[in-house]
Amino acid sequence: MKQLNKLATAMIPNNGGELVLLQREDEFSIKLSGARGVLMNSRVYNSEQELAKLGCAHIKNKESADVLVGGLGMGYTLATALACVTASSRVTVAELIPEVVEWNQGPLGECAGKPLADERSHVRLGDIAELIKQQKPDFDAILLDVDNGPEGMTNSENNWLYSSAGLSALYNSLRPEGMLAVWSAGPDSMFITQLKKAGFKVSNKMVRARPGKGSRHTIFLAKKP
């Protein structure tokens, strides 16, 4: 097996630790320094694609739709969202860590087909919570993949997004019939209850890390009436 090479590192704000970008031949991984497993891998991305497909299914024919993606990662959610919406639509991706954007503009770009080069994609550097706190009904879909699920593992500030105040702000950031889709490593019945209390109509779907196999992940789908 070829050697695993460290390409770059980046610090996560608010004492979230250090991200490490690794490469072995044409395979890339991003891990949290000191953790055993990886956060992302360029060969395991089906659930990120499903997040975008499920979250954008209701707007596939809508002209001038607006989508917000929380977390750029390796670009798979962004790329799939772009593939799901019309040519007149706009997909904004909020990314907290500048280096992650740089990696996607560089060595990671080919993995997801260079979605940042699409003229419909727009990068907003900074915490997605700052956008959400404006509580303006600007979006037809919000796709959240900023952590390991409804808890802030890599950034404790993300916990606000899943609080009552955060869910209320997410609700108010969606247009009528807008969809909030949240990626999670596993099920969470308490989170479903919180979403319903915020006014959403809620369902969830189990998806696999690879098509038909691999780890089971959960996509929470919360629709604004």
Evaluate if residue 153 carries a pLDDT over 70: no
- What is the pLDDT averaged over residues 166-186? 97
What integer is the mean pLDDT of 105-133?
95
> Would you kindly state where each structural domain of the chain is located, as residue ranges?
44-223
Return the H-helix or E-strand segment holding 218.
strand 213-223
Q: Is the pLDDT of residue 157 over 60?
A: no
Nearest to 189 by CA among 177, 202, 178, 172: 202
pLDDT at 225 over 90: yes
Instruction: Give 155-204 as a 3 state SS string.
Output: CHHHHHHHCHHHHHHHHHHEEEEEEEEEEECCCCHHHHHHHHHCCCEEEE
- Cα 209 to Cα 102: distance, rounded to the nearest angstrom: 25
Rg of the chain on CA atoms, in Å: 16
CB-CB neighbours of 157 under 10 Å: 17
- Residue 206's pLDDT is 97
How does pLDDT run across 78-89, given as a tens digit for each residue? Answer: 999 999 999 999
Q: Is the pLDDT of residue 204 over 70?
A: yes
Percent of the chain with pLDDT over 90: 84
Residue 61 Rama label (left phi>0; alpha psi -120 to 50; beta): alpha
**To which residue do tokens 């799939």 refer?**
80
Query: Which conformational region is residue 91 in: left (phi greater than 0), alpha (psi within -120 to 50 degrees), or beta?
Result: beta
Distance CA 154, CA 16 (A): 5
Question: CA 154, CA 97: separation in Å to the nearest integer?
Answer: 12
Q: Which residues pair with 173 in a beta bridge?
A: none
Say what the pTM is. 0.94
Q: What tokens were used for 111? A: 């993995």
Closest C-alpha to 128, from 138, 119, 120, 118 = 138
3 falls in which pLDDT band (50, 70, 90)? confident
Per the CB < 8 A criterion, the answer to whether 145 and 105 are in contact is no
What pLDDT shows up at residue 147? Answer: 76
What is the CB neighbour count within 10 angstroms for residue 89? Answer: 21
Predicted local distance difference test score (pLDDT) of residue 146? 86
Average pLDDT over residues 186-190: 92
Residue 14 has pLDDT above 50, yes or no: yes
Mean pLDDT (whole number) for 193-203: 97
User: What size, in residues, is the chain?
Assistant: 225
DSSP state of 38: -
Q: Report helix, strand or coil for 49.
A: helix
Q: Is the pLDDT of residue 151 over 80?
A: no
Q: What are the tens digits of pLDDT across the range 30-60? A: 999 988 888 999 999 999 999 999 999 999 9
Assign domain 44-223 to a CATH class.
Answer: alpha beta
In angstroms, the CA 169 to CA 158 distance is: 13
